[in-house]
Every structure is written in structure tokens, then in C-alpha cells.
Amino acid sequence: MFGDVRNFIPPSGLRIFATFLIFALACAPQQSAAQKSRDSEQISYIFKRGDTLFDLATKYLRKRSDYLAVQRINRIANPRQIPMGKSLLIPVYLLKYRPSEASLSAFRGDVSIAAGGQNLTPVQGLDLEEGSRITTAARSFLTLQLEDGSRVSIPSNSNVRITRLRHILLTDSVDYEIAVDKGRLRSKVAPLQKKADRYRVRTPVAVSAVRGTDYRTRVDEISGTAFSETVEGEVVVAAGESLNSGNLVAIPAGTGAAATATGALAKAELLPPQELLDPAKVQSDAALQFAVEPRASAIGHRIMIASDAGFVDIVAEGQEMGAVIELPAIPNGRYFAKVTALAADGFEGMPATYSFKRQLSTLGGSADAGDFGYRFKWFGEGEGQRFYRLQIVKDSKTAIPIIDEAALSTNTVTLSELADGEYYWRVGVIQFSTDPEDNEAIEKWTDFEKLTVAN
């Protein structure tokens, strides 16, 4: 119809035109693999009595003219004559939606939230939108509540983006997608009610999807390997950007999958729940200490502390290669600990949850000679009423105390008459809680200290 373009452009102009065309193609916006994957997603819609393709386009497609794309994809000859019961495939990116909701349930520490080109101040109840970026620093935590009741917990040292937060109007379904660029994510997904409901987690090397489950996602900072670990339910993991990839695996509860940057996908059994030694012990020392049952298959352990059994309000976490995990001090109260074993292949095991009491009560002592005799002094930290007890034995730690002073409210005792010899002494404390409903008292003792008297 138009003839050969060379008939209208001289040779020199043709070269300029070709150069311009190459430059324009190079500068044109390029879709990422993830975006191409999203644009290929489709939902199925069953035609009902009274439906027309034009009405569907008006109500549920972003542009009315998009009906042409639906007509082409489904090879519909006449858009006015579509039989009832026919199944249509409709690209998700063509559908109208309303923004869904995510609210900030709890946070601790140094948390950064950016949305709409602005940095937001984190406050409980803050609404987050699609496109929000969340960063947690060391010893910092954040939990989001989604509109359908699902929860997303972001531990320390993580970078996470909310890439999809939508409610699709046509199917009355949710469309959620979280991207983990760095660190870890725990997804407690409410059972999805509709066939078109979707919840996915993306990493730089894999994507996972669920229909109601509890699972963890982690991106290894050194290797870039993405780990998915299922605690409840089942997860489908695909290497690369799309769940339509042939390289995918289902991981039911107690299993995990690791996807590498090369596209390799490996499945593994998770280590069983890890036992704590003496989990009911009151955590009264300055730092918290948890001892785990040694296990040859574990190279380390991780523990997470929360103020609630659902681990919405996370207050601390720690990781150690040994059998003892130490955490910084936290306020007094009742807490929950979730402990897992770490395997040599990089997977984190199944969790075990325990409740414990935190009541700070420290104690130390000293003894020295003064002008009026030997002075015994003690000190320590702890809220609530404290009563002390001083014991002194002669010659052996197992001997009957020659001095046993109880219910002392002061922190010093001076003894003016001690005969020559070897003594062992210690001091104890009984501390009562400030909580009127807590009737338990803490009793602690220092180790025996040796004192030699030579007048």
C-alpha cells in the first residue's frame, strides 16, 4: 500500500533513519523478567446469563477497548455471541482493582518505611500501600496485618517491598505479592477463600505461592540463594521469575526448597523442633541465656522472643553456633521463645515454642577488713522488694553455717569478732515481683567465696 520506504528516503536519510530507529529501540522502556511474568498471569472467568464482553469490559477492565485483547486471547469470533458457561482467560494486568490494605501491627527498633516518594514515620496502625519499601536494622522487627487477616513479619537486617496489594473487582479476590530483596520474611497466610486469591513471595532468584500456610523466606546475603521453608500447609516454589516455569517444586510442612542464581532448585527435609533445656527457668540474669539440647545434625541455633504467642510483637532474636544462645536484656514480663536448629545445608528447622518469665534479679558481693572488723557487702539489680541472707561456714563449704542472718534489708553487715581460720561465705536474695498478681518470688545465691582470717 505504501510501497518501499527506500523510494521516499534518500540513501543518506535512510542511514540516519536506521540509526534513529536503533537508538529509539535501545532507549525504549524494557520490561523486567518479573514484570513480564506478572503480565502473563491470567484468571479464568465463566460466562453467566446476561453477560456480554462489552459489559465485562466496562465494569471490570481498566479500559473498555481491552475487550479486544480478551477476544483475541480466547479466539472469540463474535463478541456479541458468547455461550453461557464458556470459560474466558483474562490477563490480570487488564483488570480493575481497588487498593487493598496493610496496617502496621507492631514494630521495634530502627525501622524505615518509604512510600510514594516519602519516608513515613512508623506508628502502630499506619496504613501501607502497594509500592511501600520496608527496611529493618539490627535488632529491629516489624509485623504487618493484611486485609484478609494474613500476617507478614520482617525480622532484623531485611529489605522488603510490597509489590502487589490489590483486591480484584471481577473475582472479588485478593492479589498479594511481597518481594524479599535481602534478609528474611515470615508469612502467616490466612486460608484463601476464592480460587483467584493469590499470595506470592518473590526473591531475586525464585517465586513461591501459597493458599493458606505458615512459611519462611530467606535470601542468603553471600550466595544469593533463596530458601523457602514450610511450617504449616504447602508452598509451591519455582526457580526464576515465574510459577509457569517448568522448574518448580511443592514443599509441604516440614520441608524446604533452595533456589540458586543459576536456576538450580533443591528440596530438603527440615530438622525437627529443637528442645530447650530448662525452658521454665526464670530469666533473671542481666542477659538472657537459653541452653538447647545438643544435636549432631545442627551447626547452630536461632531463637526469637515475642510478647505474644502469635509472634506479632517480636522483641529480640539471636543466633549462635553453639548450644547456648545469649540475648541482650529485655524488660520484665511474660514472653514466648521460638527456637530452631540450623542445618549445614543452610535450612532452618521446624520451630518449638516455649513460654517463660523475665524478672531481672542480679546479685554480687564482696568482703574486706576494716577498722571495726570484717565487712560483707552485696549489690544487685531488680524491681520489687528484696531481702538478703548472709551465710558463713568454717573450714568447708558443706559445714553447718556458723552465721546465718536472714531477712536483711540493708546491703552491709560488719562482723567484729572472727577467730583465725578459713571461712567460706555467700549471700542470697529473695525478690518479690511488683506485679500484684504474680505470687512467685525469685531466690538467688552467690557462689561461696573464701575468706582467710589471721589476726
CA distance 210 to 246: 18
pLDDT of residue 338: 97
pLDDT of residue 70: 93
CA distance 105 to 72: 45
pLDDT of residue 36: 52
What single string gives the DSSP state of each residue in 222-237?
Answer: TT--EEEEEEESEEEE
In degrees, rounded to 5, the angle at the alpha carbon of residue 91 between the alpha carbons of residues 242 and 61 is 145
The CA-atom distances, in angstroms, between 110 and each of 68, 106, 136, 157, 391 are 50, 12, 6, 10, 47
The CA-atom distances, in angstroms, between 115 and each of 44, 185, 326 are 32, 19, 36
| Count of beta carbons in the 10 Å neighbourhood of residue 135 | 20
pLDDT of residue 244: 72
Q: Is the dihedral of CA 168, 172, 160, 133 positive or negative?
A: positive
| DSSP secondary structure code for residue 348 in this structure | B
The dihedrals phi and psi of 144, each to the nearest 5 degrees, come to -110, 145
pLDDT of residue 12: 47
Question: Residue holding cell 493469590?
Answer: 198
Beta strands in 263-385 (DSSP E): 265-269, 276-277, 288-292, 298-306, 314-320, 324-327, 333-343, 352-358, 364-370, 373-379
Strand partners, 442: 431
Question: 225: which residues sit within 8 A by CB, 6+ positions away?
Answer: 205, 219, 258, 259, 260, 261, 346
pLDDT of residue 254: 97
Per-residue burial over 162-177, b if 16 or more Cβ lie within 10 Å, else e, is: bbbbbbbebbebbbbb
Q: Are 425 and 391 in contact (CB under 8 A)?
A: yes
Which set of grid coordinates corresponds to residue 17?
533513519
Burial of 304 (0-12, 13-18, 19+ CB in 10 A): buried
- pLDDT in single tens digits along all 455 residues of the chain: 333 433 333 444 444 434 443 444 344 445 455 555 555 688 888 988 888 899 999 999 999 999 999 999 999 888 888 888 989 999 999 999 999 989 999 999 999 999 989 999 999 999 999 999 999 999 999 999 999 999 999 999 999 999 999 999 999 999 999 999 999 999 999 988 888 899 999 999 999 998 789 999 999 999 999 999 999 999 999 998 877 766 789 999 999 999 998 889 999 999 999 999 999 899 999 999 999 998 889 999 999 999 999 999 999 999 999 899 999 999 999 999 999 999 999 999 999 999 999 999 999 999 998 778 899 999 999 999 999 999 999 999 999 999 999 999 999 999 988 889 999 999 999 999 888 878 889 999 999 999 998 87
Q: Are 195 and 216 in contact (CB under 8 A)?
A: no
Nearest CA to 297 out of 354, 358, 258, 350 is that of 350
The CA-atom distances, in angstroms, between 163 and each of 99, 319, 388 are 12, 30, 59
Q: Is the dihedral of CA 62, 63, 67, 68 positive or negative?
A: negative
What single string gives the DSSP state of each residue in 423-441?
Answer: EEEEEEEEEE-S-TT---E
Q: Are 131 and 162 in contact (CB under 8 A)?
A: yes
Residue 335, helix vs strand vs coil: strand
Return contacts of 115-120, CB within 8 angstroms, 24+ apart.
none
| DSSP secondary structure code for residue 170 in this structure | T
